[in-house]
Structure formats: C-alpha cells, structure tokens
Amino acid sequence: MFSRVPKKPATASSEPCEACPCLTGPSSTSAGAACRSGASRRLEKRGAIAGLNEDRGDSIVGGSLAIETLMEVLEAKEVWVSGQGVREGLALHLATGSDALPEPPAVRAASIRALTARFDGWEPSKAERRVALARGLVAALDRRAAPEMREALDEAARILDVGRSVGFFDRHEHVADLVVATDLDGFSHRAIALLSAVALAAGDEDVRPRAYAPLLGREDGEPLRRAGVVLALADDIEERCPPGIPLAMTCEVTRSRAIVRVPALLGWRPRPLDARFEQAFGRKLTVQC
C-alpha cells in the first residue's frame, strides 16, 4: 500500500511515519485512517501523504476501503501484506528450488544482518554484548514488558552502532532515521516504529509516541521510556568494559533501589541517566564493578 519513504522521517515531526517493509501489518484502525486521510483530499493533493507513492493517489481510497471492509467482516485486528510480488517469488523459486517461504522472524533477522553489514563501524561482538545486557536488565526490571517491545529493544541494541558509524553524538537519531528509511523485510509498520522509537529514546528522554502516530499511541509512552533507559544503560555498561570478553551481570531489585553488578566494568560514576532511571522504574540506580 505504501512504498515511498518520506524524506524526513516522523522522528522529527508529528506527521505519521509510513515506511514500507517487505511485510506490513496495518491494523483496522490504521487502514481506516489511511482511507479517511486519502478521501479527505483532492486527487492532486494525495501525493503529499507521507509514504504514499504518487501514482497510487487514484486507488488508495478504494483499496483502503476494501481492506477495511474485509477486516471488519473477518473481525481481523490486522492483515499482513507482502511488499513483493510474482517476480520476487519466481526469483526465490529459481534460486532455492523451493516455494517455501522463511518464517517472519528469520526474515527479520536476515534484514537486520543486511543493514548492519553496510557499516564498517558495526562490531558484532559489541552488539551481542549490548543485547545480552539489555535482556538481563529487562528480565529483572520490567518483567511485564510486551514481546514486541522486547524484540524492538533487542534489535535496537543490536544496531545501535550503525548510528555511531554516521556520527557519535547524534548516533541515536541517526539509527532511528536509518530504520525508518530502510526497507526492513519482515517488519510491520508498527514494529519499525517501535524499533526506531526505542533507539531514539535511548538518547532523548523527551521522545513521544505521537511522533510516530498512528502507529504508536499514548499507551506506548511508559514502555517506550523504560526501554529507552534500559538501552542507554546497557550501552553505557558495554562501553566501559574491556573489549572482546563476555560480560557477566546481575541485577538485584529492592523496593527502593536497583543494584547492577558487572565484575568486568572498569569504572562507573553518577551520570544524568540515574535520574531518568529513577523516573522510569521508581528506584534509584546503583552500578557496581
């Protein structure tokens, strides 16, 4: 349905972000929003809709209405749409000798590998250490975190150094923009928005879900804030440990304090992240070597 990535991704404005991956998963709400957005504009004005290919202006309303109606009849919460067609299927068949398609998680993993492989500054060992730290922190601090947020946090931790390859000080913004602007196969629109938002939230405590509306809503605010703090903390810890070694970490949570212990940590001092942590988790943060 959507195929053109907006020149300026929604991370910097309140406009909807509709970057299109290979597999997209519009909900009934977003399908209706797409229909109303197109129907409320004249044909020549529909090209201004972020993410809408200009040559689809005459068909977007009818197509969105058909999808919305189908979803209502089937009582479906979302529908998955392939961004590829007959040509890609034929090429896959000729290349593999099989018509079987890989499972979406495998497609997403391959997509992330393809993205990170483009950047010389990305180091798999650092990325996997950061992922392991983030997983351990979430397991101790945010056990109710939704699976989709856990996956977004995993992938954000894995690709964070991609942004560092572009520019260190704005690395969170860079990687958030790259996620939106890249065709990540296997990810739904919402999954891409979550991944971008988590990466951005690690460096900016003022990130609001409305910047990614209608894909993210107000209810995503607190989970997004916690995921951003976890990613920032995991990144800080990983940076301050000797390279090339696996990291052991424990996280003890009491009523008033979270005590994170990392024996390999070379040093730690109070930092602005402490206040963000307390606000997100309602506990003071102590990090010990």
Residues 164, 237 within the same domain: yes
Residues 47, 111 within the same domain: no
Q: Has residue 258 been placed in a domain?
A: no
What's the pLDDT score for residue 97? 82
User: Which range of residues forms the domain containing residue 74?
Assistant: 26-79
Q: Has residue 225 been placed in a domain?
A: yes
Distance CA 95, CA 98 (A): 8
* pLDDT per residue as tens, the chain (289 positions): 222 233 333 333 333 333 333 444 455 455 666 666 666 667 666 666 655 666 666 777 777 788 888 888 988 887 776 667 788 888 878 888 877 777 888 889 999 999 999 998 899 999 999 999 999 999 999 999 999 999 999 999 999 998 777 777 788 999 999 998 888 888 888 899 999 999 999 998 888 888 888 889 999 999 999 999 999 999 999 999 999 899 999 999 999 999 999 999 999 988 889 999 999 999 999 999 8
* β-pair type (23-24, 257-261): unpaired
Q: Has residue 266 been placed in a domain?
A: no
* β-pair type (257-261, 250-253): antiparallel
Which contacts of 164-169 are long-range, i.e. CB under 8 A and separated by 24 or more positions? 164/121, 165/119, 165/120, 165/121, 165/122
Q: Where are the alpha helices (DSSP H) in 117-188?
A: 124-141, 147-166, 171-181
Residues 111, 171 within the same domain: yes
Residues 122, 75 within the same domain: no
Distance CA 39, CA 21 (A): 24
Residues 115, 56 within the same domain: no
Residues 66, 108 within the same domain: no
Partners of residue 259 on adjacent β-strands: 252, 286
The answer to whether the beta carbons of residues 200 and 35 sit under 8 Å apart is no
Distance CA 163, CA 236 (A): 15
Residues 30, 148 within the same domain: no
158: CATH: 1.10.3210.10
Residues 159, 214 within the same domain: yes
In the listed set 223, 245, 267, which residue is the last one of a domain according to the structure?
A: 245
Distance CA 221, CA 234 (A): 20
Domains contained in the chain, number: 2
Tokens linked to 11: 């991370």
Residues 109, 204 within the same domain: yes
Q: Has residue 110 been placed in a domain?
A: yes
Residues 135, 44 within the same domain: no
What's the pLDDT score for residue 51? 56
Q: Has residue 276 been placed in a domain?
A: no
Distance CA 52, CA 45 (A): 11
Q: Has residue 235 been placed in a domain?
A: yes
> What's the pTM value of the predicted model, to 2 decimals?
0.75
Helix-, strand-, coil-residue percentages of the chain, each rounded to 5: 55, 5, 35
